[in-house]
Amino acid sequence: MQRKVIQVVIAIVIVIAGVMITRHLILTRPHLKTKKRKKPIPLVKVLRVHLQKHQILVKADGETRCKHLVKVSAEVAGKVKKVSPLFEEGNLVKKGELLVKIDPRDYEASVKLAEAEVMEAKSRLAQILAESKSAIEEWKELRGNNTEIPPLVAKTPQVKAAKARLKSAIANLKKAKLNLEKTNILSPIDARVLKKDVDVGEYLLPGRVIGILCGADEIEVITHISEDKAKWINIPGFNTKNKGSFAIVEFNGKKWVARVLRAGGEIDPQTRLIPVLIRVKEPFKDKPPLLPGAWVRVFIKGKTLKKAVILPYSYLHQKENGKWYVWIVDKENRLRVKPVKILYMYEDRAVVQGIKDGDRIVITELEAVTPGMKVRVVK
């Protein structure tokens, strides 16, 4: 019994000693010092800008149309005797070139009849003048030189009538010759044939339209431009008294040098855009030609800015109030907000004002940044 008591006591002592040792080890263990992690400094890419000259280029779509559109028609009646092989759609014709010939025989006969009438009228006038002269001389022999000669004796009414008849005959001859000339239907201008509506053997009446010509000297492009873009280009009669701005018209892979001609009569009521007409000279000279009715791309050369910066929209930021700004990195490599003004907007970039030469613009997309934040710049 005594032995068991002793064992129990020894076990209790061992447990107490173990607890004391464990507590001592816990209380005397070394404490590790905690260090705060430093927040990493953002790494950014920058664009160092340099101010330079920039000419505004206004881009627009347009449609071509004839500057001179002529409907060719017959002026005299008759059967078509000949149609020129050049008078076909798509061909070029020169001014004064024969397009259609009407049978001239009736008109040639009219000219001969008119010539005969003129000869007869001249002969009749000469005869009346001779009779008048003879009557005057006879009157003077019988009455003397100092007496007044009556108009009936001098055949004054007959002379006037003969002169009038001759004048009428000459006028009829001119008209007959003119009608004969009109049997040859000529091209009034250098042109491209858009439409031909006549053939040999047809009988034409005066006023019958036989074809449509488009002047070859120049063609118009009509395009529509917003008011904020129109202020950058010269439009004669609209915002300047000088010549219009130069332009480039592009169609089917080919380019033509052009010039702004004038503005249209009114602003489009639906789009609120200003119609602007552009002139292209000699549109049919090269191949492929610039045909009427084509949809073209127009590049109008506008005013030149002496100091400008052109930036992609991804570099620009907009506040809730609509104002624009960019992030720049100062000399201490800290972020700063730089307010800017957009002067002109292209499809993928903008011309901005408010940036100084040498400014470093952040081109990296930033998240959760504040002005004054320290950054590292990619070299």
| pTM attached to this predicted model | 0.73
Q: Identify residue 160 by its one-letter amino acid code.
A: K
Q: How far apart are CA 113 and CA 121, in angstroms?
A: 12
What count of other Cβ atoms lies within 10 Å of the Cβ of residue 140?
A: 13
Structure confidence at residue 139 as a pLDDT band (50, 70, 90): confident
Q: If one looks up domain 76-213 in CATH, what number appears?
A: 2.40.50.100
Q: Name 362's bridge partners.
A: 46
Which of 312, 279, 284 minimizes the C-alpha distance to 298?
279
- Taking alpha carbons only, the member of 325, 87, 274, 68 closest to residue 184 is 87
Dist CA 287 CA 253 (whole Å): 11
Q: What is the pLDDT of residue 3?
A: 65
What is residue 11's predicted lDDT score, i.e. its pLDDT? 67
Greatest extent of the chain over all pairs of C-alpha atoms, in Å: 210
Q: What is the dihedral of CA 198, 199, 205, 211, to 10 degrees?
A: 20
Q: Give the number of other CB atoms < 10 A from CB of residue 212.
A: 18
Contact yes or no for 354/311 (Cβ under 8 A): no
Residue 49 phi/psi, 5-degree rounding, is -90, 155
Chain position carrying tokens 């602007």: 276
pLDDT digits over 285-301, tens only? 888 899 999 999 999 99
> Does residue 89 carry a pLDDT above 60?
yes
User: What local confidence, expressed as pLDDT, does residue 303 receive?
Assistant: 94
CA distance 178 to 137: 43
Closest alpha carbon to 89 in 193, 227, 197: 193
Residue 14 has pLDDT above 80, yes or no: no
Contact 316, 332 (CB under 8 A): no
Q: Write the DSSP symbol of residue 35.
A: -
- What's the pLDDT at 174? 96
Instruction: With beta carbons less than 8 A apart as the criterion, state whether 297 and 347 touch.
Output: no
Tell the residue number behind the tokens 């816990």, with chain if given.
26
Sequence spans of domains, the chain = 46-54+305-377, 58-67+216-304, 76-213
For residue 295 the two structure tokens come to 């949809």
* CA-wise closest residue to 370 among 37, 42, 38, 46: 42
pLDDT tens-digit profile of 57-79?
999 999 999 999 999 999 999 99
pLDDT: which is higher, 192 or 29: 192
Structure-model confidence comparison of residues 96 and 5, the more confident one: 96
Structure tokens at 9: 């006591």
What mean pLDDT comes out for the span 311-331?
A: 93
**Is the pLDDT confidence value at 34 over 60?**
no
Asked if pLDDT for residue 92 goes beyond 60, the answer is yes
In tens, the pLDDT along 147-199 reads 777 777 777 888 899 889 999 999 999 999 999 999 999 999 999 999 999 99
At residue 108, the 3 state secondary structure works out as helix
Superfamily per CATH, domain 58-67+216-304: Efflux pump adaptor protein, beta barrel domain (2.40.30.170)
CATH class for domain 46-54+305-377? mainly beta
Q: What is the pLDDT of residues 196-252, one digit of tens each?
A: 999 999 999 999 999 999 999 999 999 999 999 999 999 999 999 999 999 999 998
Euclidean distance between CA atoms 100 and 88, whole angstroms: 11
* Least reliable range by pLDDT among 112-116, 142-146, 215-219, 333-337: 142-146
d(CA 354, CA 106): 82
pLDDT for the residue numbered 2: 63
Numbers of helices and strands, H then E, in the chain: 4, 22
How would you class 153 by CB atoms within 10 Å of its CB: exposed for 0-12, middle for 13-18, buried for 19 or more? middle
Paired sense of beta strands 52-66 and 218-225, if any: antiparallel
| 323: confidence class by pLDDT, cuts 50, 70, 90 | very high
pLDDT band for position 5 (50/70/90)?
low
Tell me: pLDDT of 97 over 90: yes
173 backbone dihedrals φ, ψ, rounded to 5°: -65, -40
Structure tokens at 33: 């010092």
Is the pLDDT at 19 greater than 80? The verdict is no
Using CB atoms within 10 A of its CB, is residue 112 exposed (0-12), middle (13-18) or buried (19+)?
Answer: exposed
- CA–CA separation, 289 vs 64, rounded Å? 12
| Residue whose pair of structure tokens reads 């040792």 in the numeric block | 21
When pLDDT is averaged across residues 357-372 and rounded to a whole number, the result is 88
Question: What is the H or E stretch that residue 285 is in?
Answer: none
Angle value at C-alpha 164, between 158 and 166, nearest 5 degrees: 105
pLDDT, residue 27, reads 66
126: its two tokens = 């000469």
State residue 57's pLDDT score: 95
